[in-house]
Chains A and B, each alone.
Chain A
Amino acid sequence: MTEQLFSNLGVFVLGLLVGFEVISKIPTTLHTPMMSGANAIHGVVLAGAIVTAALANNPVDYVLSFLAAALAAANVTGGFVVTDRMLKMFGRPRRSAAPDKDAS
């Protein structure tokens, strides 16, 4: 059990460090989509809902499984879809009429 705990803790701490490293390089321009995208990633809690649903065997468990799945699924699908909607706008091709920087 202790071995397991330390393995998990190691993964957790490294995850935090990688997170700080990667996120701090994201420009402010993209902070809103980044927050929304990170938001979608914590929807992975749906995996937790799957694990507990597999152990459910009475009405209370079923209700909780339903609730956990509904909340997590809203998080994961909504998060990715809305982030994609935002980023699609950033990726749009430039409009032709715009002259270049100091061309004037």
Chain B
Amino acid sequence: MTTLAFVIGVSYLLSATLFVLGLHQMRAPSTARRGNLTSAVGMAIALVGTVILAATTGVATPLGWAALLLGSAVGAVYGVVRARTVKMTDIPQLVSVFNAVGGGAAAVVALSDFLVRSSTGFALSESIPLVLDVVIGSVTFSGSLIAAGKLQGVIPGRPLTFRGSRVVNAVVVLACLVAAVASVVIGHSVVLLLVTLGAALLIGVLMVLPIGGADAPVIVSLLNAFTGLAVAMAGFAINNQALIIAGALVGAAGTILTLQMAAAMNRSVGNILLGGFGTSDSGLVAVSSQDLTGVRQVTADDVGLQLAYARHVLIVPGFGLASAQAQHEVAELAKLLLDHRVDVKYAIHPVAGRMPGHMNVLLAEANVPYEQMLQLDEANAAFDNCDVALVVGANDVCNPSARESGNAVSGMPILDVDRARSVVVLKRSMSPGYAGIPNPLFTNPSTGMLFADAKQGLVDILAATKEYVTA
């Protein structure tokens, strides 16, 4: 073993260890930031090691270095600017964009490795991961961009389908498969690899277009796992263990999140990919039941009175709060109550917001300490002792029908809001959530409905509460 190989080996080993440690530190909010930094140090070590490797063993030309440096500079500037300016409500889109570029980079690395070495031919152990990298990386690239477009609203959130889409899908998948197998077997045909790449890009588009906006976050998470795999495949192709380890870690992370998220939405991943119930966007759900029988309406003034004289309040934030960007208003209301010795906590469903944990980020942005954010189990233990549960823009995640069988949300883990002594639901209308079924919580005798936009409603409640707490 040469000194160089030793140094590279140690640097990769060190960086892999730091990646795992960094993820490990993400277990608690107090150490999570350090964990991210640990991973970043691991990344720096891996990159420095690779530069040393390239500088001493490669046949690098000045132009090659220039292309690398220039590319890195352009990419880094774009990445930093986007990361620093993005609004917290738009985080899911940005994660999706970064995911796309990662998958794209993996595909391009495979392509250029193929071009450099195509004259000498490949062993199967190199060509198989290389072609897999091209396929997975390309699918991720185009699919993630479409998903980001849906989340951003540039591409309609509703499922986009067309006549004969099944046939087209089958043809494209078949073409990709044939071209991929032929690439592996023949081993040096650039044309075949480009056909594979093109077909894979098309698969990404066709796969994500029919998926509803509400399900887009699950797809982002799934594509995140794909990128991990693509990067690992790139590692096999160029025989680089840093890529293999990091890719495997991310693949595992994406897979776990995808499964947890699908479970929290009461869907299977297959069901989401093939489209099923819940593929409609919130704005499109026909409000079939604008029927207000059994509904007790309340005013902001009533709510303020209830809150001011409560001892324990739980706030249940949902997608409506995120889309109205009302996290600051809700935090202000909570602060007012806390200042007047009312105990306030947030009950957060795993899929509240636009991706798992997104609501926690939005509340953290509004200065809510994480100690006040209760996860599903903690929250459900707290509802029995709760005087007022204030539901803001959430629906399916607190639908008691989930406890019964035979409906769209049966078995879905929910927040037991109906166990609170009094419930206030702040919502624009009686329209059903993504599951498309009525919510008996709204007609519960202990529930009062306040029909308003989340932001405006909170402003009104805040004003009313101020009256009572200072009185």
Contacts and interface: CB of A to CB of B under 8 A. Distances in A.
Main secondary structure of the interface of A (DSSP, over half): helix
Main secondary structure of the interface of B (DSSP, over half): helix
B326 to A, nearest CB: 17
Interface residues of B, number: 132
Interface string A60-104: 111111111111111111111111111111111011011101111
Contacts, number: 428
Interface string A1-19: 1101100100111111111
B369 to A, nearest CB: 4
A47 B36 contact: no
Contact of B26 (A5, A34, A66, A101): A34
B192 to A, nearest CB: 17
B65 interface: yes
Interface in B406-453: none
A31 B257 contact: yes
Contacts of A32: 91-92, 95, 353, 355-358, 360-361
A70 B241 CA distance: 22
A66 to B, nearest CB: 4
Chain A CB within 10 Å — which of B32, B91, B241 has the most?
A: B32
A8 B249 contact: no
B109 to A, nearest CB: 4
A90 B29 contact: yes
Contacts of A92: 364, 367, 369
Given A22-B23, A61-B115, 18 more contacts: A12-B236, A27-B27, A32-B353, A43-B105, A47-B47, A51-B50, A51-B113, A51-B240, A56-B63, A56-B116, A68-B109, A69-B72, A71-B101, A72-B109, A73-B71, A75-B75, A81-B79, A104-B343
Interface of B: 15-16, 19-20, 22-24, 26-30, 32-33, 35-37, 39-40, 43, 46-47, 49-51, 53-55, 57-61, 63-76, 78-80, 82-84, 86, 88, 91-92, 94-95, 98-99, 101-102, 104-106, 108-109, 111-113, 115-117, 123, 125, 221, 224, 227-228, 231-232, 234-236, 238-257, 260, 311, 335, 338-339, 341-343, 348, 350, 353, 355-358, 360-361, 364-365, 367, 369-373, 375-376
